[in-house]
Structure 1
Amino acid sequence: MDKGYLNVWFLSVAFMLLFTGFQCLGIIMKTILEGFKLENVNFYADGYLCMALIYISFAIANWFAPSVISLIGPKITMIVGDICYMGYMACFLYPIEIVLYIISVILGIGAALIWTAQGNYLVINTPKEKMPRNSGVFWAMLQLSMIFGNTLIFFLFAGQESIGSKVRILVVFILLGIMGFSLLVFIFLPRSVRHDAISSDAEEKPGPIEVLKGAGTLFKTKHILILCVTFIYSGLELAFFSGVYVSCVGFTLKLPNSKRLIGLTGIFIGIGEVIGGITFGILGAYTAKIGRSTIVIFGLILHVLSFALIFINLPNNSPFGNTSDDAIISSSPVIAVACGFTLGLGDACFNTQFYTALGSTYQNNSASAFAIFKFIQNVGAFAGFLYSTHLILYGNLILLTGFALLGTICFIIAEKIEVNEDEVIKYKMKSKNQEPSNSAK
């Protein structure tokens, strides 16, 4: 195992531990806050609104994250981001409405830092020809967090009609402990095997203002603009499967033991994500032969099938709270869990190809490329959580289907565009003797 590949594994383990906590919290947030409201009548915080605030501040902060990386490097940037996630988790020991909303904004900033730095660290430890393998390793390891976290929920939520303080505090303490180990891994994360124009250790590198301008230049290219439509869809479906859908399952009282089913559905979302990461990432040398566009089309088919089954299996008002309403068919826990699996597998189809496409195309400007990806994706996630506070389930599913079709078409078009990275961004380096270049230092 070469040093760069080993570094990718360290990175993957750190993210798996961190998001065992956060992805689990995202899935149960709406449910535990509704339980807290039953004990505190003057508490009105909404889980969907918290997530919306996270993603809009995440989106805005993405523009500045490459500049931070240029100043302190990807490793320290990820450590700062990890601390923001742990602070957010701690707030759920005793939720206070205004504090939750403020810390949601802070977490969004930390998320922008950690995810942009992650994309940068992944690329500068990965040869171009190994991007499918390494991005697949990262994605599969990251999504193991869905399985671990939701297994915990499956057992702790058994027999619970609502989530009281005792269960909430126990869950938060366990998840905080797991996230603490992620911070240790980030602290001891090895140095990268190479640097690019942004994360160079040399003095002759672009300053934070130049990096910000470079990201703006990249954002205006034809290739990125077309991909942005696909990135928006990835944000909308992220909001749906990571927060809205599992809440709908938990609120559907016609499903047996619906609160426990949240955990089981989350586990199968994670299984789908891991299988997708292995199939289209780690085994990318084989699946790459069918092309990135074909894999994205397969993801589209899986998602449209999922939306159709959810449409008939869950009641229309299930996003908003406990409901005993009937669905079009008798609500089935098997269909609910199966849709979790297909949502996760389809999401992996999209995201592994995004990582491979960006990492292969923008080897020396990965921080800017991934910042733009996360910016657009999180604008989509913000919109998804925001409209889900009022939009009925059927409207949500119809909107998702339309964007899935449009996003897939745009990805196919973008794949046919030739990109010369050297002609996109030419930084003015600090050294007077240094010619403008974007080559790695």
Structure 2
Amino acid sequence: MTQVILVGLVCFLCPGMFNALNGMGGGGQMDSTTASNANTALYCTFIIFGILGGSIVNLCGVRWTIFVSGLSYALYSGSYVYLNHTANGAFTIAAGAILGIGAGVLWAAQGMIMVSYPKEEEKGKYIAVFWIIFNLGGMIGGILPFAINYHNPKDSLSDAVYIVFVVLEVIGSALGLALCPPSRVVRDDGSSVVLVKYTDVRTECVEIIKLFLNPTMIALLPMCFTSNFFYSYQFNCVNGAIFNIRTRGFNNIWYWGAQMAGAYALSFLLDKKEWSRKKRGLIAFALVAVFFNVMWGGSVALQQKYTHGPTITGPTDYPGGSIDFLEHSRAAGPIILYLVYGIGDALFQNFAYWIIGALTNDSQKLSRYAGFYKGIQSLGATVAWQLDAKKVSFMHQLIGNWVLLGISLVPMFVVINRLTDHSESEIVEEGFAHDHKEALSAGKAEAAV
């Protein structure tokens, strides 16, 4: 638990601050084009280094990989100070590409720690503990711009906000050096987290290729692709489009706070010992499916009121202009919907990690699985942010999110339906590919008897 809390604090100060900045819409800028292009560059490199990240962590260890990766977050936040003074987005876009490299490795290490360190019956709780600490960073990161820009009439964040983010992210990266190697971590009951196994570059290359031949991982591709696709719509097309700058920060406080509540609530379901793992998974699946369909339905109702946000040429066309949180009658509905977005994100992400953690308890495999998840997730995010940068209509982006959700649900159900109560062996991951063969062989043997 100590290690999970430590990596939670790292993500509290690094990805948590990045999420707060990104959640402002356009990185806190009036024009979201540079931020959208920077996010596209970020997720392009994230695709590659997300998939490679698990192997990099296996070869180099968690401490230094997390430390170096964390510094890339500080570089990205600092680039906005340059953007404020020059209006030249090239440095911010390049910093986004570098951040994609660091984030890919950091999240692979984080995923391995979060889903391989706990015992099987505690994985939901450990995922929730991490998610609460991590999103506390986004919540506090929302308070900073809200407080600093409370009396700021401009539609862009001040240098002071970006500099505070840089300082916090440097501190977060340094915390990575306090982590222990997996081989030295012992659970509360005295059992070791991982058997010490030797790995090399050749082995890791072969294992990465196997990921794309693994039927279970292929089945989870739509889930991975969809899991961050909605950020560009929620951050830019809603928060950045219809709220003023201080209300965007106010909304982020509630968005990331709602994530903490959603993760905490889901953990009780995912760890309910009275039910089998499959039953828990199927009930959580139904909850996620219904929740997201209701959420996107509410989004359509809001989206019909406007087509664009503020730009350098004019304000948003939302009725009455940009919303301030003090305009209670106008603000209540959209702010509540944005809070619901936060709950939905927590439900989907926590459930996805729980599914991956149910496939095996091998920390090296889980580091690769987590890297695969983040890599394919980043592919989806790359497409989403570029659609926003190319000014695809808000309604079309919303419809795309809803369609992708529907596509991801079917293979998720298939994988969940094959889960067993224990994953100490490779029953789940291997069995997904061989169930039919084994059933056929068993049938022949029974007939022969």
Q: Give the alignment's TM-score, normalised by structure 2.
A: 0.81
| 1:286 alignment partner, SS class | coil
Displacement of 1:330 in angstroms is 11
The partner residue of 1:227 within 196, 220, 230 is 220
CA–CA separation in structure 1 for the residues paired with 2:231 and 2:205: 27
What aligned pairs does 1:235-384 form with structure 2 within 5 A after superposition? Answer: 235-250=228-243, 258-281=244-267, 284-286=270-272, 289=275, 291-314=280-303, 315-319=305-309, 321=311, 323-326=315-318, 332-364=330-362, 365-384=365-384
What aligned pairs does 1:104-143 form with structure 2 within 5 A after superposition? Answer: 104-143=96-135
Aligned to 1:429: none
CA–CA separation in structure 1 for the residues paired with 2:402 and 2:408: 10
Aligned amino acid, residue 14 of structure 1: V
Task: Answer yes or no: is 1:69 the counterpart of 2:57.
Answer: yes
Contact 1:116 1:370 in 2 (8 A): yes
Displacement of 1:141 in angstroms is 1.3
CA–CA separation in structure 2 for the residues paired with 1:329 and 1:90: 31
| 2:14 alignment partner, SS class | helix
| 1:355 alignment partner, SS class | helix
- Label 1:285 to 1:362 Cα distance change in 2 as closer, same or farther (>3 A): closer
Task: Answer yes or no: is 1:173 the counterpart of 2:163.
Answer: yes
CA–CA separation in structure 1 for the residues paired with 2:5 and 2:268: 12
- Label 1:326 to 1:87 Cα distance change in 2 as closer, same or farther (>3 A): closer
Contact 2:18 2:77 in 1 (8 A): yes
Displacement of 1:424 in angstroms is 6.3
Q: Give the unaligned 5+ runs of structure 2.
A: 186-192, 324-329, 431-449
Contact 1:31 1:247 in 2 (8 A): no
Aligned to 2:145: 153
Aligned amino acid, residue 404 of structure 2: F
Aligned amino acid, residue 158 of structure 1: Y
Aligned amino acid, residue 7 of structure 1: Q
The partner residue of 2:19 within 17, 23, 32 is 23
When the two structures are aligned, how many residues end up with a matched partner? 401
Alpha-carbon displacement from aligned partner over 1:385-433 (angstroms, at most 9, x marks no partner): 11112211111111111111221222111212358637969xxxxxxxx
Displacement of 1:274 in angstroms is 0.4
Contact 1:71 1:208 in 2 (8 A): yes
Contact 1:150 1:266 in 2 (8 A): yes
| 2:24 alignment partner, SS class | helix
Aligned to 1:10: 6
Displacement of 1:239 in angstroms is 3.1
CA–CA separation in structure 1 for the residues paired with 2:274 and 2:42: 34
Aligned to 1:396: 397
Aligned amino acid, residue 44 of structure 2: I
Aligned to 1:50: 38
Displacement of 1:287 in angstroms is 8.9
| 2:220 alignment partner, SS class | helix
| 2:383 alignment partner, SS class | helix
CA–CA separation in structure 2 for the residues paired with 1:13 and 1:31: 22
Contact 2:145 2:249 in 1 (8 A): yes
| 1:62 alignment partner, SS class | helix
| 1:318 alignment partner, SS class | coil
CA–CA separation in structure 1 for the residues paired with 2:322 and 2:48: 43
Contact 2:71 2:173 in 1 (8 A): yes
Displacement of 1:72 in angstroms is 1.2
Contact 2:183 2:195 in 1 (8 A): no
Aligned to 1:428: none
Contact 1:235 1:377 in 2 (8 A): yes
| 2:182 alignment partner, SS class | coil
